[in-house]
Amino acid sequence: GENVEQHPSTLSVQEGDSAVIKCTYSDSASNYFPWYKQELGKRPQLIIDIRSNVGEKKDQRIAVTLNKTAKHFSLHITETQPEDSAVYFCAASYREKLTFGTGTRLTIIP
Amino acid sequence: DVKVTQSSRYLVKRTGEKVFLECVQDMDHENMFWYRQDPGLGLRLIYFSYDVKMKEKGDIPEGYSVSREKKERFSLILESASTNQTSMYLCASSLSPSSLSTDTQYFGPGTRLTVL
C-alpha cells in the first residue's frame, strides 16, 4: 500500500518568513495530493490540493509543488502570519483512499 | 456548505463495552470514512464505504466494524472496547463514486474516546 512520509515534524518560523513542509510517497499510481490544516481542537480542513497532471499550484500565500519523478511534493507558505500556526497534514491518494503523513506542527513566532 | 456531524465530542467507556460512534453528512456524498488520530501517527484509515451497505477495510481495521444502512449515516462499532482504542476518531465524507478521480474529503469535528 501507499506510504507517505512528512518532514519536519515541528517547524518554528518568524512571522513574515516562509515555511516549507515536504512529503514523499511510495505508490506511483497516486494521483491526488491534498494538504489539510488542523487548528487546535478543530477538524482538519483542506487548504490546497494538486493533481498529478500539474506541477505547481498557488493560492494567495500558499503554494504546492509536485515532482512525480522523485515522488515528492511540498507545501510553501509565504509571509507567514500568527493564524498560520497549526498542524499541517499532507496526503496521497489513488481513487478515494487517502494516506496521510504524520503531520507538521507549525509555530509562527511573533 | 458541507456539514459532517458526529454524535459525541467526548465519550468515556469501560474495557469490554460495545461502543457506537455515529457520523452523519447532509450533502448526499457517496463516500464515507472513519479515521483515528493519534499524536505522531497522523490520521489512519479504519474503514470506508463507497455506497449503502458497502464497506472496505482501511489500514487498521482490527477491533472495529462499521455499518452503513443509509447513505447519510456511517457508524463505527467497537465490539469490545480496549484501552489501546483510546483515541480521537474522525469521520469524513466525499462526493464522487469510486472512479479514477478523487474528491475533497470533509471532516467531522471528531469524537475523543477514552477507554478505562
pLDDT, tens only, B34-78? 999 999 999 999 999 988 988 999 999 999 999 999 999 999 999
Q: A42 in contact with B at a CB cutoff of 8 Å?
A: yes
Span B80-89, mean pLDDT?
A: 97
Helices (H), chain A: none
Q: How far is B80 from chain A, CA to nearest CA, in Å? A: 27
Cell numbers representing residue B17 in the block: 463495552
Q: Which of A31, A96, A97 to mutate to test the interface with B (most CBs of B within 10 A)?
A: A96
Cβ of B50 within 8 Å of Cβ of A45? The answer is no
Q: B12 in contact with A at a CB cutoff of 8 Å?
A: no
The pLDDT tens digits of the residues spanning A38-63 come to: 999 999 999 999 988 889 999 999 99
pLDDT at B101: 61
In angstroms and rounded to an integer, the radius of gyration of the C-alpha atoms of chain B is: 13
Q: B109 in contact with A at a CB cutoff of 8 Å?
A: yes
The b/e string for A43-67 (b: 16+ C-beta within 10 A; e otherwise) is bbeebbbbebeeeeeeeeebbbbbe
Please identify every stretch of chain A with a pLDDT value under 70, giving residue numbers as ranges.
none
Whole-number Å distance between alpha carbons of A80 and B76: 38
Cell numbers representing residue B61 in the block: 481495521
Parallel, antiparallel or unpaired: strands A10-14 and A104-109: parallel
Return the closest-CA partner of residue B92 out of B20, B1, B6.
B6
